[in-house]
């Protein structure tokens, strides 16, 4: 059912976790969606249910190369997001964030199209301010293993702001905090997918460090709602705006919750904390509440329940899957 005037909307990284949910939402709103992806971490399975739909199109393309298409709006999500994936080929990660942003901003400039950037809470690094507000400039190690992603995303934000100041582009910068849900890659090594896979397979749950580090997890449906609302804000609001669920939890609490919700008999094993792993993270979403009239609605138990159901189905369909992170 169409809710609004049909726009041609480009979603980069549209075959990924968040991108595929965004494509679902934009199509449901009646838009004409062009999904582009190089399938580095995304998969055709995430978008297969749209195959043959008249207003859905997929193009295999790497955004580090220029793209010539005609669209009205752009959501730039292309970039590996899990630490093991973005650290596998760090030079390509920076290229995707920086060259990719330049290519997509150039496209937006030619088309006079509004453009959304999927930035990240990683721009705050290991934060010295808690919870994180948008005016905090962060604490990023530019030399560390996470820098390819953190600095790439920071540079992308700079480019977005300069294209706005220099060329008058309408931009929307979202700083996304940890988001989870169905269609996460089962072996991407991110904590929610890893813990659920390990619990469902009865394997030990790998806690990095002492498990006292915190994150704040947002369910994917809440995040996609925020994307669409941010895109609809007046042109004079570029962001950045924090998007996430302020419900903060330690990794130990998360592991116990996953064991509880799956009824698993998995034990806990402790592994060294990866370098530069932020000790705490929680968004201050005052700005999002005010400008988007948005706040997350789905709590951790409910969201984890839905995600566990997804991974349980995946394991039934593909029993050969493992809980070991790839790369
Ligand atoms: P994802 O890895 O599932 O999706 C990224 C998609 O981009 C994949 O489909 C991948 O194949 C594609 N891609 C990667 N490099 C590309 C390139 N050079 N050209 C074209 N396509 C490319 O990750 P996700 O969780 O869906 O994240 C989507 C975006 O949101 C990313 O930009 C990420 O940095 C950002 N983000 C996500 C989270 C989160 O918790 N999920 C948090 C902060 C920011
Ligand atoms: N983590 C963990 N066990 C795992 C995977 C991750 O304890 O098997 C921890 C990781 O060290 C980090 C937190 O979980 O402190 C979130 O990790 P993730 O990779 O999901 O995201 P990010 O660190 O980018 O927030």
Token match 């995303």: residue? 153
Would you say 114 and 74 are in contact if contact means Cβ atoms under 8 Å apart? yes
Residue 327 is predicted with a pLDDT of: 54
Grouping H, G, I as helix, E, B as strand and the rest as coil, residue 255 is: helix
Residue 271: how many other CB atoms lie within 10 Å: 10
- Decide: 63 in ligand 1 pocket, CB within 6 A: yes
Residue 321 is predicted with a pLDDT of: 74
Catalytic, out of 86, 149, 180, 219: 149
Residue 326 is predicted with a pLDDT of: 60
**Ligand 2 mean position to 203 CA, how many Å?**
17
Would you say 157 and 174 are in contact if contact means Cβ atoms under 8 Å apart? no
CATH T-level topology, domain 3-317: Rossmann fold (3.40.50)
- The percentage of the chain sitting over the pLDDT mark of 90, rounded to a whole number, equals 95
- Give me the chain's average pLDDT, please: 96
Give the number of the atom of ligand 1 that is nearest the alpha carbon of residue 41: 11
Residue 1 is predicted with a pLDDT of: 45
Using one digit for the tens of pLDDT, what is the confidence trace for 13-64?
999 999 999 999 999 999 999 999 999 999 999 999 999 999 999 999 999 9
């Amino acid at each position: 059912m169409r809710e609004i005037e049909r726009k041609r909307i480009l979603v980069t990284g549209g075959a990924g976790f968040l991108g595929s949910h965004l494509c679902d939402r934009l199509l449901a709103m009646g838009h004409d969606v062009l999904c582009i992806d190089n399938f580095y971490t995304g998969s055709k399975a995430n978008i297969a249910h749209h195959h043959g739909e008249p207003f859905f199109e997929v193009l295999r393309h790497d955004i580090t190369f220029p793209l010539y298409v005609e669209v009205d709006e752009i959501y730039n999500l292309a970039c590996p997001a899990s630490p093991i994936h973005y650290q596998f080929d760090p030079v390509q990660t920076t290229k995707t964030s920086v060259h990719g942003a330049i290519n997509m901003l150039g496209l937006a400039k030619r088309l006079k199209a509004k453009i959304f950037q999927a930035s990240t809470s990683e721009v705050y690094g290991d934060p010295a301010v808690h919870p994180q507000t948008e005016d905090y400039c962060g604490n990023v190690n530019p030399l560390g293993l996470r820098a390819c992603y953190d600095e790439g995303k920071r540079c992308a934000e700079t480019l977005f702001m300069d294209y706005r100041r220099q060329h008058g582009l309408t931009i929307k910068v979202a700083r996304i905090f940890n988001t989870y849900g169905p269609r996460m890659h089962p072996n991407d090594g991110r904590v929610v997918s890893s813990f659920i896979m390990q619990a469902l397979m009865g394997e030990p749950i790998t806690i990095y460090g002492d498990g006292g580090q915190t994150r704040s997890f947002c369910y994917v449906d809440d995040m996609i709602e925020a994307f669409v609302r941010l895109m609809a804000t007046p042109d004079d609001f570029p962001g950045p705006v924090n998007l996430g669920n302020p419900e903060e939890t330690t990794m130990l609490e998360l592991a116990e919750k996953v064991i509880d919700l799956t009824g698993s008999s998995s034990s806990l094993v402790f592994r060294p904390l990866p370098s530069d792993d932020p000790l705490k993270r929680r968004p201050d979403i005052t700005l999002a509440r005010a400008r988007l009239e948005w706040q997350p609605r789905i709590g951790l138990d409910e969201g984890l329940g839905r995600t566990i159901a997804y991974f349980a189905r995946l394991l039934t369909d593909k029993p050969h899957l493992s809980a070991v992170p790839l790369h």
